[in-house]
Amino acid sequence: MSTALAESTAIETLIKAQAYGLGFDLVGITSLGPALSAPEFESWLARGYGADMDYLPRQTEKRRDSRLPFPAASRAIVVGMNYGGREPAGPVARYARGDDYHDLMTSRLNELHAWLESEVGRPISGKAYVDTGPILERDLARRAGLGWFGKNTMLINPTLGSFFFIGALLVDFELEADPAFESDRCGRCTRCLDACPTGALAEPRVLDASKCISYLTIENKGAIPEDMRPALGELIYGCDICQDVCPWNISFSKELEETAFRARPLLAGRTARQVATEVLAMNEETYTASFRGSPMKRAKRRGLARNAAVALGNIADVRDLPVLLGARDDPDAVVREHVAWALAKMPVSGIPAG
């Protein structure tokens, strides 16, 4: 056993100190068990608010009880990692501008796991989860004392706001749990509901994914409904609007410190026009090279090109005619249809038919 433990420092304190040392901004400990938000989640799915994300209803039993995804575990060390709410707004949501958080956070949770084994001097069964399993992560985070569910459905922490990722290390190791976060600090505020350009927040804490810009530009694999396209404005990947207007973020969001999350050159300080025209001109090879290691690869080239066409249609700048005309022969039918829509929005006549 290490000197630190020999000096009777609580292992929970040491775990948290190590987690902070690894770059996490929040850390709490909770016991595993029935997920309190599971009934609401299942009701949400039953109301059709999950759109066509067919993976969400899978493994329902495991989502209902956090002891089931990794049966050996009894505790969760839950972490939050800031991704820079003070960064300027732009055509790509802040979380997706740099390297993929799944990879970075999983690696650091694995480091925390290895450190814990070394500290106690024996192997400990455990597994890191960062959006990678049938776990209601917000539920675990609230149980671990990291925040409450905001009316925009985000987990909000009173010292950090909501611009942070959530991850969890499930372990077979007895630890004292932190108190759950019980209070709701949104009060009468409805800024997030009022600001959503597509009306995706059906009611406080209930998101209709089929109307959410993040869903439409990322998870949606087909065409974006025509009546929704104007509301996307210049957004190309994701949306931060319901977070931008939240008073807790206005007051308490932090500067970006993790260099891995800094915007890559394609996105850093660039306008929606600049990003959209470059994306729309990409082939599979240039797309793969540009977004290697990025969370934006989830939308695939066709999704990003589709989104770029919509953004250019909404911007309606005649300087973008060459790139749009060049994309009329895109190999993907979905992209071609959105390019045609964008061309029809241009404030000029005489665009060659094709």
Burial 79-110 (b: 16+ CB within 10 A, else e): bbbbbbbebeebbbbbbbbbbbbbebbbebbe
Closest alpha carbon to 87 in 164, 149, 157: 164
For the chain, the C-alpha Rg in angstroms (whole number) is 22
Is-catalytic flag, 131? Answer: yes
The angle, 0 to 180 degrees and rounded to 10, between the axes of the packed helices 11-21 and 101-120 is 140
Q: Of the residues 65, 131, 172, 244, which is catalytic? A: 131
b/e per residue 173-185 (b: at least 16 CB within 10 A): bebebbebbeeee
- Which long-range contacts (C-beta less than 8 Å, at least 24 apart) are formed by 249-253? 249/85, 249/161, 249/162, 249/163, 251/161, 252/157, 252/158, 252/159, 252/160, 252/161, 253/84, 253/85, 253/86, 253/160, 253/161, 253/162, 253/163
Residues annotated as catalytic (active site), given as ranges: 131
